[in-house]
């Protein structure tokens, strides 16, 4: 039988008692540290984020993502910096010169512009976003981080923020291309950085695409039970339909936490609960605390299940993961002497999760629905 998770990739739950005061203080500390660490041009690059400093402007790991999160957390005055990241992104050396990634939401110019529009409401930036959204129809990436499905999220956000009819028209046009790109069995083949694959998770596959469509009521649900790995009351999914057993993950980007956090409201309830139970049994991630592949990102599955079932056990589990993630942030900061400054891998993602937990909000950052 295929193992559903590897204990070596997780760590025991710290067991710190839930405290609203500690949660609020942790958010404030993370925001204050992020504000102080910005040098007017960039945030310090974290060694655990590799050597890909070309990405220092984007939504996923760069400055645009930091500004998105700081704005949501109530920090102000980021307009000039947000605009500067657009110029910086356009001037950056890309490791993927053979692939146009301008239309990417999380890794491309599109997302950098969206973060800037969020804090400036600049009409010219809005026009550029509209151009990029429509241009994404030519992309064969077929996933939210690089491809047209991410443009659906952008058009949805712009419609919510502006009320302009052109964003509804753009959404409809891109949705048509996303639906047309589906394979015969309802999945999508993603083409990213020279690789073609079919993924189930939200970052590069099915769950993210369905979420982008479903936010506006336009997504038939594929029967994910065809691909699930089961062990009694536990369920997990491999990264894709051709994944090896040793590629199993328990993360937002790949595995049960991300699928439940992203489409848990659309899944068969028993299957969604089984994915949540697997996430809890596996425990916090040892590799980090952030959104994409960390403790905070996994805990969004618990928020979704709490909202869907009303069972307080899921809220308790979200709180337990929140306290653990806060401790992980503090330990990492003490070790390095500063924070980790990115939305999807860093401290600010934990602050957003804790804020959402406190506010009763189960929406994963950047994935909508938007208001």
Report DSSP letters for 255-309, one per residue: SHHHHHHHHTTTS-HHHHHHHHHHHHHH-SBSS-SSTTTSHHHHHHHHHHHHHHH
Q: pLDDT averaged over consecutive 10-residue blocks of the chain (371 residues)? A: 88 97 98 97 90 81 97 98 95 59 92 98 98 96 96 98 98 97 94 91 96 87 86 96 90 98 95 98 97 98 98 98 98 94 98 98 97 79
Q: What is the pLDDT of residue 52?
A: 63
Taking the C-alpha atoms of residue 289 and residue 354, their distance in angstroms, rounded to an integer, is 12
Q: What is the pLDDT of residue 264?
A: 96
Q: What is the pLDDT of residue 49?
A: 87
The reported pTM is 0.96
Percent helix, strand and coil across the chain, each to the nearest 5: 55, 5, 40
Q: What is the pLDDT of residue 272?
A: 97
Q: Which of 325, 248, 259, 314 is nearest to 286 (CA)?
A: 325
Q: What is the pLDDT of residue 32?
A: 98
Q: What is the pLDDT of residue 221?
A: 67
Supply φ then ψ for residue 199, to 5 degrees. -110, 155
CA 110 to chain centre: 16
**What DSSP state is assigned to residue 52?**
-
Burial letters 234-261, b for 16+ CB under 10 A, else e:
bbbbbbbbebeeeebbbbbbbbbbbbbb
**What DSSP state is assigned to residue 225?**
G
Taking the C-alpha atoms of residue 115 and residue 164, their distance in angstroms, rounded to an integer, is 18
Q: Provide the 3-class DSSP secondary structure of residue 79.
A: helix
Taking the C-alpha atoms of residue 361 and residue 299, their distance in angstroms, rounded to an integer, is 12
């Amino acid at each position: 039988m295929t193992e559903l998770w590897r204990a070596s990739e997780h760590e025991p739950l710290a067991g710190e008692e839930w405290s609203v005061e500690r949660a609020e203080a942790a958010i404030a500390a993370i925001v204050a540290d992020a504000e102080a660490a910005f040098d007017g041009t960039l945030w310090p690059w974290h060694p655990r984020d590799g050597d890909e400093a070309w990405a220092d402007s984007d939504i996923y790991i760069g400055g645009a993502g930091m500004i998105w999160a700081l704005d949501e957390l109530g920090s102000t005055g980021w307009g000039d910096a947000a605009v500067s990241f657009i110029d910086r992104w356009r001037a950056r050396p890309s490791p993927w010169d053979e692939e146009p990634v301008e239309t990417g939401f999380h890794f491309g110019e599109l997302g950098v512009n969206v973060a800037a529009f969020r804090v400036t409401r600049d009409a010219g930036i809005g026009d550029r976003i509209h151009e990029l959204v429509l241009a994404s129809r030519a992309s064969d990436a077929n996933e939210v981080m690089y491809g047209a499905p991410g443009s659906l999220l952008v058009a949805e956000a712009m419609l919510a923020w502006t009320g302009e009819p052109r964003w509804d028209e753009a959404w409809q046009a891109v949705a048509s291309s996303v639906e047309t790109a589906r394979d015969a069995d309802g999945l999508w083949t993603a083409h990213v950085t020279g690789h073609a694959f079919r993924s189930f998770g939200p970052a590069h596959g099915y769950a993210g695409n369905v979420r982008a469509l479903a936010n506006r009521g336009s997504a038939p649900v594929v029967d994910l039970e065809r691909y699930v790995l089961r062990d009694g009351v536990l369920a997990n999914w491999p990264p894709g339909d051709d994944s090896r057993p040793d590629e199993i993950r328990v993360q937002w980007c790949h595995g049960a936490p991300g699928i439940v956090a992203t489409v848990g409201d659309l899944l068969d309830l028993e299957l969604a609960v089984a994915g949540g139970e697997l996430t809890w049994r596996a425990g916090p991630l040892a590799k980090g605390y952030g959104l994409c592949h960390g403790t905070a990102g996994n805990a969004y599955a618990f928020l979704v299940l709490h909202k869907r079932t009303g069972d307080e056990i899921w809220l308790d589990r979200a709180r337990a993961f929140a306290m653990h993630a806060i401790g992980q942030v503090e330990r990492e900061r003490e070790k390095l002497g500063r924070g980790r400054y990115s939305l999807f891998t860093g401290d600010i993602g934990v602050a957003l999760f804790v804020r959402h937990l406190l506010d009763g909000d189960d929406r994963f950052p950047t994935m909508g629905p938007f208001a």
